[in-house]
Structure 1
Amino acid sequence: MYGSGNADALLARWNEWTPLNTNQIFLGLPAVEGAASSGYMPPDVLTSQVLPSIKSSPKYGGVMLWNRFYDQQNGYSDVIKGSIN
């Protein structure tokens, strides 16, 4: 979980989930700090520290943001869309 502000902690959780018997795993994040009680990650941290590591996983399915209303307000998806594939 990123709530601690530590990308390494999130990557450790990712590595716990990837051995599961599933085809794809999506990384879910709040689109703004107020969309959840914790877990907000600034887009620059996501694109520079997290995505480079998890995109190499065969289980990586993409990024999911909640909720669309907040994403439309701050444009989070517009900032990261060039980095998610």
Structure 2
Amino acid sequence: YGDGAAAPVAGDLDQAKDRLAFAGSALDQARQAVQTADHARAAVYIRAAEGAVGQAGTLIDSVDRRAAELAEAAGKLPAALTE
């Protein structure tokens, strides 16, 4: 595939990795908050981690969808060329 085919999702995997790294950091901060019995702060960090994991999932899903679209297009190409 040409570069343009993947352009809509080109940075999505890197962004997903960043979101997962953020989630890991937020969980570390939540653990620290729990150790000091600051449960409200821990909850904030846990919610932030949940949001980041959800965003990472959305980004990864977009890459999967693009891959499926390209595979479908490639499958239709031979028939289109014979028309």
Normalised to the residue count of structure 1, the TM-score between the two structures is: 0.23
Q: Which has the higher helix share?
A: 2
Q: Which has the higher strand share?
A: 1
- Report the structure number with the largest CA radius of gyration: 2
